[in-house]
Chains A and B, each alone.
Chain A
Amino acid sequence: MQQRAPIEEQIDLPFVESLRISFQSLKIRFGRSIITTAGITLGIAFLVSVWTNNEIGLALQESGRQSTINTFEDTTETGISTKDIWLIIMSLIVCVVGIANSMLMAVTERFREIGTMKCLGALDGFVVRLFLLESGFQGFSGALIGALIGTLGAVLLGLKDYGLDLFFYFPLLPAQPEDGTMRLGVIVIILLGCILGMILAVIGSSFPAWRAAKLPPAEAMRTEV
């Protein structure tokens, strides 16, 4: 049955096989996938709502409307208050840390699985590709939902502050007011949120997966969570 043929080289798998395996994994782990995805959604929703809220404030402020509640006491030259800058930076940090953490947890739980796949003949690159695909999909869907939720939140807040005027001056598209500053507009913010969420998810997942794939399988399989 066995001959002493020299040991051959392992072949690369067709892309569809990776795609199929990763989607099946997401599907069967649906509950767990949802929790991980929810981590991404939350982070992006928070960031996008703060950011959009800020844009709305600026747009209406430029239009001459004043918030019925907010007063812009410490407004800087460009119209963004230092408080708002802080808020955006903080939400960005929360978003990065939250997503990285939730991806890292999800991968660490699967070290054993990574070791097992290598026992069965998986190449390191295949393992990484699997995690790239899974996290890319989770990142995109999670971030898109998050961005939409965040925008909705900001719109509701805006409605409360400015009433229906909000819709006349809604900063949907990028704009460049007279003061020379740049307004991104809500659409661009949503887009940036999606891209950021996806990138964070993919890095947060593939990097630990790559590290685990490089380990000898015996070590990867020893890891208990």
Chain B
Amino acid sequence: MADIVVKTEDVVKEYRMGSNILRALDGINIEIERGEYISLMGPSGSGKSTLFNMIGALDQPTEGQVYIDGQNMSQLSQRQIAAFRCHRVGYIFQSYNLLPVRSAHGNVTLPLIFAGMPEKQRNERAEKLLDMVGLGDRMYHLPDELSGGQCQRVAIARALANDPSIILADEPTANLDTITGREIIDLIKRLNREQGVTVISATHDLKMLDVSDRIVDIRDGLVERVRNRDEIEIEVGDVGGEHDGDAGAHD
């Protein structure tokens, strides 16, 4: 039986700007299984980030329900929502969103502080996580002193701090060059495979296709289609062939 970790029911999000109402999500229904790697694809403005915010409890839907682990998110108290963000989800953003006043290590310890972990333990955990993302030698640098790829690694370590069951990544590679982007994707994929974290990632990035279990195409606030891994593999071959030929070499 499928273990559904995220389920949305007719999720609608409207933004009001003066007298205009913009319907960014127009009734989204998706179900995501535990351990899946899902990519949300779609043109700019199609509503990917908006959906990301709904699933991550970073904003509230205008209509409809979001269930995480079977729990209806609209029924949670403020404190439960804070605990949910702290423990169940790890967020990764296009623009990293590191706290500029805290070192790499300080950024990773913050969610651990919020979780109430004692100091010694959280320092060790932060070190371990930063080591794992390959930043063992840069732990006490401020975000300003790190490259984009390194910042994103810190963000990944931070997202993993409290052992979340879901990683939400909104265009995590959009600000990175191809090689660094590839490394970040491989890192996220490794976490998905080795630790069983469910990954939901909004992306334009075709490199993300071949690591995805499923791709959800979003257009104008609606799910246009859902593609499975086997359908994807064929297309990735095509895409690779069109661009540079190396990715498509294995048929």
Contact = CB atoms under 8 A, between A and B. Distances in A.
Contact of A119 (B69, B71, B91, B162): B91
Contacts of B116: 11, 13
B82 interface: yes
B242 to A, nearest CB: 35
Interface string B15-32: 000000000000000000
Interface stretch (B94-102, B124-132, B208-216, B223-231): B94-102
Contacts of B60: 216
Given A1-B163, A1-B196, A218 B53 contact: yes
B158 interface: yes
A28 interface: yes
Nearest to A219: B59
Interface in A91-123: 112-113, 115-123
B111 A120 contact: yes
A121 B101 contact: no
A10 B83 contact: yes
A21 B113 CA distance: 10
B86 A10 contact: yes
Contacts of B80: 7-10
Nearest to A32: B101
Nearest to A2: B165
A10 B58 contact: no
A21 B53 CA distance: 27
B85 interface: yes
Interface string B200-211: 000000000000
Given A8-B80, A217-B58, A117 B110 contact: yes
B250 interface: no
Nearest to B88: A7
A13 B113 contact: yes
B70 A13 contact: no
Nearest to B71: A7
B77 interface: yes
Contacts of A63: none
B209 to A, nearest CB: 26
A123 B80 CA distance: 10
Contacts of A21: 113
Q: How large is the interface on B (under 10, 10 to 19, 20 to 34, 35 or more residues)?
A: 35 or more
Interface in B151-167: 158, 162-163, 165
B147 interface: no
Contacts of A28: 100-102, 142
A124 interface: yes
A4 B165 CA distance: 10
B114 interface: yes
Contact of B78 (A24, A119, A123, A218): A123
Interface string A113-154: 101111111111010000000000000000000000000000
Given A24-B101, A24-B102, A9 B113 contact: no
A25 interface: yes
Interface of A: 1-2, 4, 6-11, 13, 17, 21, 24-25, 28-29, 112-113, 115-124, 126, 216-219, 221
Given A7-B76, A117-B110, 5 more contacts: A9-B80, A13-B116, A118-B85, A217-B58, A217-B59
Interface of B: 34, 53, 56, 58-60, 69-71, 76-80, 82-88, 91, 93, 97-102, 106, 110-111, 113-116, 142, 158, 162-163, 165, 195-196
